[in-house]
């Protein structure tokens, strides 16, 4: 296929003021252009340039390859078992003729008092665990996930298999797809939304900043727009982040502490989410609860997180970089085990008050809450590594480096007294016990799959 770039750059090289370009005599366009100039004496100047302009347009169109969108590769591929619902066309056909019934059946709780929850990011790490926990206690769930390739999609498909085996219907779709969300809310009267879909990762924001705006701002606003217009409006619980505390030096972090110094774009989009949530609470009466997760880890975790790729690299004998703070200060995190976080999520859903509005009209003040879900025990990264060495029975190849200016903060430490008081949140798993469960899963999953980890 003709490379556009040389032609485009060549056409670009012809200056906009005609008559001054020095075409390369060997250029295939030189003779044509030369012939056109020969006729210039015979025609009025205005007519001539109209001809030349028309000629150049026709030349460009003639040389342009057929549009990529006409290629078969553009067809949306709904491979595998996943029901992918691309609503660019019409909602639903790719889910099969009775997708509404399947969504409705999946969302129906086992008892009248049960919840009917839309879990966004349902095949993500926290999303999958929360969905399974809700299903296990008899709530109805419909999952929504775009199965993006931020990390290995094989892991997402494997989590999806767990959900399918539990009878949870997962729609492959995007929170930015308003038509899809509207169709879901027309089909199911969700009592709650557990919003976990997001672009996660502190450091990746320096590589792909727009992904954070797309998912964490545009996507969140799109979801809230559908929720506020729904009748009845659901109560919304969503994932904020400990990263909103940014460069805060007062420890432990409390919900009332300043959060106006985000250290990464990721943190800034999560902070923006908290402000946006407040406007939808204030204007439309949406019940909203934000959960500030503190470095959540555990089985089926995220390969982009340090505990996960440290495990992979230690097993492969690859060097790992341990960050240290200014003046060789330790870098620490309040690592929080997934099962404790799931209990916090379910408690937030169970204590969420109803939204007061419907169809976009507010009828009274609505509940607005923010909680820290942490472990109240910051652990230095060096200690994380030594626990992994012990569990894996492999000596890590370590290199200690100054924490790069990549959006990371030196430490996190959660004050969980508010979540304890209002949600009954009480984490019980320390890092060594939690990592033991993670390592057991990791060796089982990759050992059985013979897969190269992320």
State in angstroms the smallest separation of the CB of 308 from ligand UGA. 7
DSSP 8-state secondary structure symbol assigned to residue 44: -
- 245 tagged catalytic: no
Q: Pattern 287-326, binding to ligand UGA, x per CB under 6 A? A: ------xxx---------xxx-------------xxx---
Pick left, alpha or beta for residue 163 (phi over 0 → left; psi -120 to 50 → alpha; otherwise beta). alpha
State in angstroms the smallest separation of the CB of 203 from ligand UGA. 7
Distance of CA 318 to the CA centre of its chain: 28
State in angstroms the smallest separation of the CB of 412 from ligand UGA. 6
Comparison of 100 and 257: residue with beta carbon closer to ligand UGA: 257
The yes or no reply on residue 184 touching ligand UGA (CB under 6 A) is: no
Strand partners, 336: 296
State in angstroms the smallest separation of the CB of 143 from ligand UGA. 20
The yes or no reply on residue 128 touching ligand UGA (CB under 6 A) is: no
Which of 107, 331, 391, 423 touches ligand UGA (CB under 6 A)? 331
Q: Which of 389, 453, 376, 380 minimizes the C-alpha distance to 411?
A: 380
Which of 184, 200, 236, 435 touches ligand UGA (CB under 6 A)? 200
Q: Which of 191, 190, 123 minimizes the C-alpha distance to 163?
A: 123
How far apart are the C-alpha atoms of 286 and 233, rounded to whole Å? 7
Taking CB under 6 A as the criterion, which residues in 205-244 touch ligand UGA? 241-243
Taking CB under 6 A as the criterion, which residues in 332-351 touch ligand UGA? 333
Is 16 buried (19+), middle (13-18) or exposed (0-12) by CB count in 10 A?
Answer: exposed
State in angstroms the smallest separation of the CB of 445 from ligand UGA. 18
- Among residues 266, 284, 307, 371, which one is catalytic? 266
Dig out the tokens for 158 from the structure. Answer: 């494997």
Please tell me whether residue 140 adopts helix, strand or coil conformation. Answer: strand
How far apart are the C-alpha atoms of 83 and 62, rounded to whole Å? 40
How far apart are the C-alpha atoms of 209 and 214, rounded to whole Å? 9
Comparison of 284 and 300: residue with beta carbon closer to ligand UGA: 300
Taking CB under 6 A as the criterion, which residues in 386-415 touch ligand UGA? 403, 408, 412
Strands 140-145 and 169-172: parallel
Residues catalogued as catalytic = 266
- Binding-site ranges for ligand UGA (CB under 6 A): 200-202, 241-243, 293-295, 305-307, 321-323, 331, 333, 381, 403, 408, 412
């Amino acid at each position: 296929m003709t490379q556009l770039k040389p032609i485009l750059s060549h056409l670009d090289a012809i200056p906009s003021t005609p008559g001054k370009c020095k075409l390369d005599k060997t250029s295939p366009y030189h003779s044509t252009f030369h012939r056109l100039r020969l006729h210039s004496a015979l025609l009025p100047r205005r007519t001539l340039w109209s001809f030349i302009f028309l000629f150049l347009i026709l030349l460009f169109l003639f040389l342009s390859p057929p549009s990529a969108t006409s290629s078969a590769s553009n067809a949306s591929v709904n491979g595998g078992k996943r029901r992918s619902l691309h609503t660019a066309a019409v909602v639903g056909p790719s889910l099969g003729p009775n997708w509404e019934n399947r969504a409705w059946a999946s969302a129906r709780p086992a008892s009248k008092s049960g919840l009917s929850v839309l879990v966004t990011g349902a095949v993500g790490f926290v999303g999958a665990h929360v969905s399974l926990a809700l299903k296990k206690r008899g709530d109805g769930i419909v999952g929504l996930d775009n199965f993006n390739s931020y990390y290995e999609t094989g892991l997402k498909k494997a989590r999806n298999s767990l959900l399918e085996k539990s009878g949870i219907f997962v729609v492959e779709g995007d929170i930015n797809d308003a038509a899809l969300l509207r169709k879901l809310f027309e089909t199911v009267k969700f009592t709650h939304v557990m919003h976990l879909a997001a672009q996660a990762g502190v450091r990746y924001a320096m590589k792909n900043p727009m992904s954070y705006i797309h998912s964490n701002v545009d996507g969140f606003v799109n979801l809230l727009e559908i929720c506020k217009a729904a009748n009845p409006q659901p109560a919304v619980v969503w994932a904020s982040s400990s990263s909103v505390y940014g460069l805060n030096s007062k420890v432990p972090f409390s919900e009332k502490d300043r959060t106006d110094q985000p250290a990464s774009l990721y943190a800034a989009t999560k902070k923006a989410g908290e402000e946006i949530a407040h406007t939808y609470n204030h204007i439309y009466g949406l019940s909203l609860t934000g959960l500030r997760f503190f470095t959540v880890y555990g089985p089926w975790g995220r390969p982009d997180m340090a505990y996960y790729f440290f495990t992979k690299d230690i097993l492969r004998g690859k060097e790992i970089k341990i960050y240290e703070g200014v003046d060789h200060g330790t870098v620490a995190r309040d690592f929080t085990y997934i099962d404790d976080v799931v209990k916090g999520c379910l408690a937030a859903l169970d204590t969420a008050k109803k939204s007061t509005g419907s169809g976009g009209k507010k009828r009274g003040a609505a509940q607005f809450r923010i909680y820290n879900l942490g472990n109240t025990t910051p652990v230095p990264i060096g200690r994380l590594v030594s626990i992994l060495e012990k569990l894996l029975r492999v000596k890590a190849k370590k290199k200690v480096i100054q924490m790069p200016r990549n959006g990371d903060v030196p430490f996190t430490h959660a004050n969980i007294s508010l979540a304890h008081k209002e949600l009954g949140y009480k984490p019980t798993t320390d890092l060594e016990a939690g990592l033991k469960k993670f390592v057991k899963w990791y060796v089982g999953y990759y050992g059985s799959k013979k897969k190269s980890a992320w």
